[in-house]
């Protein structure tokens, strides 16, 4: 019974780690976005490019981290199921399968949409959203810089002086 309990407790550790890591990474991302948006009203420039690229790295790392910790969670869940099944085989009076089945049916009936969704997918999606924001901002900087460069190359000299 202690082995089953230990395996069950190991399942909560990856969840807690994922939640804590996500909180820290989102705080860092919010700080970066605050630095990017605060203090000026003009478009982003190449000076901010390292920050936007770091957002991409941060988001991809967070998504990978969340997926990996889901893998650890599943590992401990599979192990716990094996212990539980062995326990039920040796102690048939437990009727754990019946109780588990009735609880699963009640949960699916009460939360049909949520039951099909996996929590780790929301964590991964949240981190991918940070990466997507970073990609969008990075592309915005690169495209505006590129279009400015093309505009100055293609615009005749007398018009450039008028524009500046």
Q: What is the CA radius of gyration of the chain?
A: 26
Q: How many CB atoms lie within 10 A of CB 91?
A: 10
The three-class DSSP label of residue 118 is: coil
The string of pLDDT tens digits covering residues 17-36 is 888 999 999 999 999 999 98
User: Stretch 79-84: mean pLDDT, rounded?
Assistant: 84
List, for residues 33-69, the tens digit of each pLDDT value: 999 887 666 788 888 999 999 999 999 999 999 999 8
pTM for this prediction: 0.70
């Amino acid at each position: 019974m202690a082995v089953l309990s230990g395996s069950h407790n190991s399942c909560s550790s990856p969840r807690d780690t994922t939640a804590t890591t996500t909180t820290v990474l989102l705080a860092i991302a919010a700080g970066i976005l605050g630095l990017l948006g605060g203090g000026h009203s003009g478009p982003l420039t190449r000076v901010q490019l390292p920050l936007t690229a770091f957002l991409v790295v941060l988001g991809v790392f967070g998504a990978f981290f969340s997926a990996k910790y889901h893998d650890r969670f599943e590992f401990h869940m599979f192990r716990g199921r094996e212990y539980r099944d062995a326990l039920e085989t040796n102690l048939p009076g437990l009727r754990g399968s019946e109780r588990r089945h009735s609880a699963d049916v009640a949960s699916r009936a009460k939360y049909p949409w949520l039951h099909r969704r996996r929590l780790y997918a929301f964590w991964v999606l949240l981190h991918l959203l940070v990466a997507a924001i970073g990609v969008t901002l990075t592309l915005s900087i690169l495209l505006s810089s590129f279009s400015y460069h093309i505009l100055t190359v293609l615009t005749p000299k007398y018009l450039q002086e008028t524009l500046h």
